[in-house]
């Protein structure tokens, strides 16, 4: 028996490079960051390096050094700390969650500004959303994992 050769037409879809949006009317590039229950709306524009979070300076808003370093780390990775003015509105959660949300928002805004920075930010892990959330409380328990004390008698 002779095998029949079948040809399959596979349409090759060209790789589509994402088109970065231009700035809005104020010249800002936007990025949204989320972490735990915190949401940060970030606006950046070329400037002198001003960084305001909820209308406060970085050192006044985040008291913990680890949180301050997390916020500026995408700017440091892209080597543009003093090249952009950054304005952040952040709500919800605690300080560490807000710092993580702000970090992701800044990284996304930088990517919207210049797509060539995307690979550098991705390699540093700044464009990855941290999916960890608080585990819910279960019925019949005092918390998510903790149980009430068992009494044998």
Q: Are 105 and 38 in contact (CB under 8 A)?
A: no
The span from the CA of 10 to the CA of 59, in Å, is 56
- Average pLDDT value for residue range 28-43: 96
Which tens digits make up the pLDDT trace of 44-68?
A: 999 999 999 999 999 999 999 999 9
Give the predicted TM-score (pTM) of the model.
0.82
Tokens 């301050």 locate to: 68
16 pLDDT band, cuts 50/70/90, is low
CA dihedral of 38, 42, 47, 52, whole degrees rounded to 10: -40
DSSP string, 12-56: PPPPPPPPPP---TTS-EEEEEEETTEEEEEEEEESS--EEETTE
- Average pLDDT value for residue range 38-43: 97
Q: How many residues are listed for the chain in this entry? A: 153
């Amino acid at each position: 028996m002779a095998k029949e050769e079948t040809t399959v037409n596979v349409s090759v879809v060209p790789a589509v490079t994402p088109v970065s949006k231009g700035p809005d009317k104020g010249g800002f590039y936007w990025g949204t960051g989320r972490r735990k229950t915190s949401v940060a709306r970030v606006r950046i524009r070329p400037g002198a390096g001003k960084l305001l979070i909820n209308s406060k300076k970085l050192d006044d808003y985040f008291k913990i050094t680890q949180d301050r370093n997390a916020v500026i780390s995408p700017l440091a990775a892209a080597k543009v700390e003093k090249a952009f003015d950054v304005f952040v509105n952040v709500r919800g959660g605690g300080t560490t969650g807000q710092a993580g949300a702000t970090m992701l928002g800044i990284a996304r805004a930088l990517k919207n500004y210049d797509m060539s920075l995307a690979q550098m930010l991705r390699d540093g892990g700044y464009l990855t959303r941290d999916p960890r959330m608080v585990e819910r409380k279960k019925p019949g328990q005092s918390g998510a994992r903790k149980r009430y004390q068992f009494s044998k008698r």
